[in-house]
Amino acid sequence: MRGTLYNAVFSAGITLILACLMLGVRLSAEGTRLTVVGAGADRWEWILAGVAVVFFGQLFSPRLDALFGRIPKPSLGALKPQDSTLKRLKPWLLAALIVGLVIWPFMVSRGAVDLATLTLIYIMLGLGLNIVVGLAGLLDLGYVAFYAVGAYTYALLSEYFGFSFWACLPIAALLAASFGFVLGFPVLRLRGDYLAIVTLGFGEMIRILLNNWTGITGGPNGISGIEKPTLFGLEFSRRAGEDAQTFHEFFGIDYNSGHKVIFLYLIAVLLVCVVIYLINRLMRMPIGRAWEALREDEIACRSLGLNRTVIKLSAFTLGASTAGFAGCFFAARQGFISPESFIFIESAIILAIVVLGGMGSQVGVILAAIVMTILPELAREFSDYRMLMFGLLMVVMMRWRPEGLVPMKRPHLELK
Amino acid sequence: MSQLLLDVNELTMRFGGLLAVNSVNLKVKHRQIVSIIGPNGAGKTTVFNCLSGFYIPTDGSVMFNGEQLAGLKDFRISRKGLVRTFQHVRLFSKMTVIENMLVAQHRHLNTNLFAGMFKTPGYRRLEQEAMDRAVHWLEEVNLLQHANRAAGNLAYGQQRKLEIARCMSTQPELLLLDEPAAGLNPRETKELDELIIRLRDEHEISILLIEHDMGLVMGISDHIYVIAQGTPLADGSPDEVKQNPDVIKAYLGES
Amino acid sequence: MTEASLYLLQQIINGLTIGSTYALIAIGYTMVYGIIGMINFAHGEIYMIGSYVSFIVITGLLAMGNIALPVTLFAALLVAMLIAGTYGWSIERVAYRPLRGSNRLIALISAIGMSIFLQNFVALSQGSRDVALAPLISGSVLEFGSLETFAVTISWMQLLIWSVTLVTMTALTLFISRSRMGRACRACAEDLGMTNLLGIDTNRIISLTFIIGAALAAIAGLLLGLYYGVINPYIGFIAGLKAFTAAVLGGIGSIPGAMLGGLILGVAEALTAAYFPSEYKDVVAFGLLVTILLFRPTGILGKPEVEKV
């Protein structure tokens, strides 16, 4: 008992030291002078409450551990029905899902559809980074750079050369892929942690360059007035530009600003489906297996004749191209981009999506992306604390369930 | 075929001031089982690392089928038909047994992205061949029933067998086994014994192995090399080596 | 001496000043990496917290009046070291120790999460805007060169930074090489498992490493806070990146390496800012990092590693 009491007092003391100055007082500026003021009684109540929680938590820690141990870890895998039933139902489920996804936006508000489109963008980004981090095991902290390349490619090509959205999609993907290749070539042989920092630095560097190349990229003001995508040339605006017709005129219906939102949403759905299909195929091809083998044991790969440079580069490049894809769409949806959208925290969020989803598992990543995008919307009142909670969530999840929401399931191969 | 499969001359490996391998000579003919033995820390695994390209030898030549291997990178050497296993089993633990077998055959498959995306006939044929080869080798080592289990979940002895089967699926000419019997019980060691002999006789490859299990070594080797402290000590047939006084001294010390 | 060379000399002096503070932060990275092989992503935030605490103590003591400046600064130093050290210790216990055996990515995610948490913690409790302190130490110690063209100055502030970092690094070097704890630190950095088997409480040593690193970062926080006069919750991010670059430059795991790397980075940055548009000076750190990792990954003072197969 004495040991735990000592622990409790010690921990409480530590908490007090951590909080007393950083939380307990405030630096505020009165005119040009800096002063220190007490942070107010309610702050101190929080501090004392925190200290008390830590004290009692440590005091009763064995009992609390037992209590928490009994909380079952969420196992979404258990919710899945039997494999055989799943196989029979799969085509029907997929069809129902697709139909649902297409019909749904017509029945809900514009805000909901907009949110769904944002979620779909993060799904794309998550799936792309999943190739790099989840499948190939390469720690990439600068993924947002490729996202930026894709976005700025469309913005610049559309503004200076009048390229259409659909033409820019493959170009953005290709350009992002080449950036991935150029970065990856020298850097992929580095050890895990170093690779993480270097890619982080690269992401920051791209942002700084975008911020300072004011002549081309508009600097901190970014690029605005980006063209929205058209449906075979039909524009979704109230009045068409020259030589063009609007969507509502063509179909003889009234103009509704919601059409544009739904159209963007449907494009996103299409893009995500393409990405999911392509990545699924890749995972079942030799290259996908090679990625995972590389993650498992690089030395064994080398001893079996696999060229690790080529394999790593392919993962990096394909992941980058997916980000380029998503970036192009992002620019089209927003109509305006600036370097502010491509800060490190975005890379961290996408990384969190991959890790929380269960590295390698596509379903897990999709679920995690949905949770990460929708949760902040639901907790609107706490928006100030959003990032704080995000950081805390990352630390907690790594201790509690590092394998993610849906750990990857190995494919069952037929031995014909 | 009188040409040597593997001809190693004056192989030397230096790490800064440490001379780990000192002018080692090895010769392996076709369809031969050759063993390397020696006290612990003798540099035997370092020799393997030099032969397989994980270390670039400081000096010496490694001729494999008439081609110079010294200086080539690890994955290039393995593509030429010289594959190895490791002292501590290196499997792709989270992947299934059959996936391990398929990954090993990576270079025999069509890795062209478009061929794979559109499942061209050529692509499908190569995938089927790889699957057939994988199934064949799993049957050889009696692991077919575990095909869809995660490799990390197999028993230790089974993992060792899988590592060998995986190497064999790459269609090598020379197999380097690093202490394959370590940690195996007598029954498993006997199975390993028979497997190695089968590999030489039925599948016509040569095997170079590092081993401490004298029973295994003396029983199946065609030729034995003894290395102590990185330096060649003796070589010959099992009987010759058993009676060599230098070898006895190296293992048992002065009497 | 020509004006150009005087200008160059001034940049080098400035660079060495900033560089020595980078060195202080870099030591924390290199010590932690040397002992448990992970990058303490949240280390930059400790530096930031150190600067906030020092500002708070300085402002508080100044408001009380009649306290001599050296005493104020010294008190700020001690309190910052204490509180930052506590943060360092707590971070290790909460976010790193439970994940000791897991794979790299898990530990990295936890570290990133901790870093984001601390940044926003300070932003919420102290406000996310810049906090400015009126310059406390001004004037120059030394000036030379012709006053009509350009005069090289060494300010009191720079002298303070140099002397504090010199004393700190000397103390640290003596501690590591002479004391029993220091020996234990070195043993742990060499081979953690073996040291554990020899009966040394490696957990204690690891905690100590984090505390020392944090204390040094706090010193840097105080010095740079006074030098620049402005702080905000986000300075830890870029400072951390640069300090890590410095650690890698000098050879990760090597304390003298971190010192050397810091100075080199500081000078490189100052020269870049002097002769190119200053926004690009942050890019210099990244460029140096990539270059050193490509051509000499073990760093200037590091030993080449042989991969064990």
pLDDT at C304 > cutoff 70: no
- What pLDDT was estimated at residue B253? 61
Instruction: Determine the Cα–Cα distance for residues A227 and A334; give it in Å rounded to an integer.
Output: 10
B151, B195: one domain: no
B60, B178: one domain: yes
pLDDT at B113 > cutoff 70: yes
B131, B147: one domain: yes
**Counting Cβ atoms within 10 Å, is residue A322 exposed (0-12), middle (13-18) or buried (19+)?**
buried
Strand residue runs (E) in B29-128:
33-37, 59-64, 67-68, 82-84
Place of tokens 């930031």: C48
Over residues C113-146, the pLDDT tens digits come to: 999 999 999 998 888 888 888 888 777 777 776 5
B127, B162: one domain: yes
Closest CA to A320 of A164, A107, A71, A153: A153
B117, B224: one domain: no
- What pLDDT was estimated at residue C148? 62
CB contact under 8 A, A286 and B170: no
B177, B74: one domain: yes
Helices A41-59 and A61-70, interaxial angle, to 10°? 80
Over residues B146-168, the pLDDT tens digits come to: 999 999 999 999 999 999 999 99
Angstrom distances, CA of residue C149 to CA of C4, C5, C83, C250: 10, 11, 46, 37
pLDDT at C225 > cutoff 90: yes
- What pLDDT was estimated at residue A59? 78
CB contact under 8 A, C53 and A201: no
Which residues on A lie below 8 Å from C57 (Cβ)?
A: 21
Phi, psi of B179 (to 5 degrees): 50, 60
CB contact under 8 A, C113 and A17: no
Domain stops at, among B170, B200, B215: B170
Hey, is the C-beta of C116 within 8 angstroms of any chain A C-beta?
yes
B228, B115: one domain: no
Q: Which of A287, A293, A302 sits opposite B95 (nearest CB)?
A: A293
Look at chain B and report how many structural domains it folds into: 2
Domain stops at, among B110, B143, B170: B170
Hey, is the C-beta of A33 within 8 angstroms of any chain B C-beta?
no
B137, B243: one domain: no
- Residue C85: which pLDDT band, with cuts at 50, 70 and 90? very high
Q: Which of residues 13-42 of B touch C (CB under 8 A)?
A: 15
Smallest CA–CA distance, residue C109 to chain A, in Å, is 7
**Kind of pairing, strands A245-246 and A234-235?**
parallel
B67, B103: one domain: no
- What pLDDT was estimated at residue A62? 76
Instruction: Determine the Cα–Cα distance for residues C214 and B8; give it in Å rounded to an integer.
Output: 54
Structural domain boundaries enclosing B7? 1-81+172-255
Q: Which of B15, B45, B86 sits opposite C306 (nearest CB)?
A: B15
Q: Which of B83, B95, B102 sits opposite A296 (nearest CB)?
A: B95
pLDDT at B255 > cutoff 50: no
B49, B12: one domain: yes
As a whole number, mean pLDDT of residues C28-56 equals 92
Closest CA to B21 of B232, B234, B230: B230
Largest CA distance in chain B: 71
Over residues B11-53, the pLDDT tens digits come to: 999 988 888 999 999 999 999 999 999 888 778 999 999 999 9
Which residues on C lie below 8 Å from A141 (Cβ)?
A: 112
Domain stops at, among B170, B201, B226: B170
CB contact under 8 A, C309 and B54: yes
Chain A neighbors (3+ CB pairs < 8 Å): B, C
Q: Which of B84, B94, B98 sits opposite A415 (nearest CB)?
A: B98
B89 inside domain: no
Instruction: Determine the Cα–Cα distance for residues A191 and C252; give it in Å rounded to an integer.
Output: 13
Neighbours of A384 (CB within 10 A): 10
B148, B198: one domain: no
As a whole number, mean pLDDT of residues B200-227 equals 90
Smallest CA–CA distance, residue A287 to chain B, in Å, is 7
Q: For chain A, which residues score pLDDT lower than 70?
A: 1-2, 31-33, 72-87, 238-244, 248-249, 255, 416
pTM for the model stands at: 0.89
**Which domains does chain A possess?**
1-25+43-61 (no CATH), 96-230+264-400 (1.10.3470)
Angstrom distances, CA of residue B92 to CA of A29, A223, B166, C55, C84: 59, 47, 11, 53, 43
Which residues on A lie below 8 Å from B54 (Cβ)?
A: 299, 302-303
> How many CA atoms are closer than 13 Å to the CA of A81, on its beta-carbon side?
8
As a whole number, mean pLDDT of residues C54-78 equals 88
For residue A308, what is the nearest residue in chain B, using CA coordinates? Answer: B75
Hey, is the C-beta of A274 within 8 angstroms of any chain B C-beta?
no
Neighbours of C165 (CB within 10 A): 25
Over residues B31-42, the pLDDT tens digits come to: 999 999 988 877
Average of per-residue pLDDT values in chain B: 90
B92 inside domain: no
How many Å separate Cα C58 from the centre of its chain? 20
**Which domains does chain C possess?**
3-295 (1.10.3470)
Hey, is the C-beta of C298 within 8 angstroms of any chain A C-beta?
no
Hey, is the C-beta of A196 within 8 angstroms of any chain C C-beta?
yes
Q: Which of C59, C86, C118 sits opposite A34 (nearest CB)?
A: C59
- CATH number assigned to the domain comprising residue B211: 3.40.50.300
B65, B181: one domain: yes
Cβ atoms A415, B131 nearer than 8 A: yes
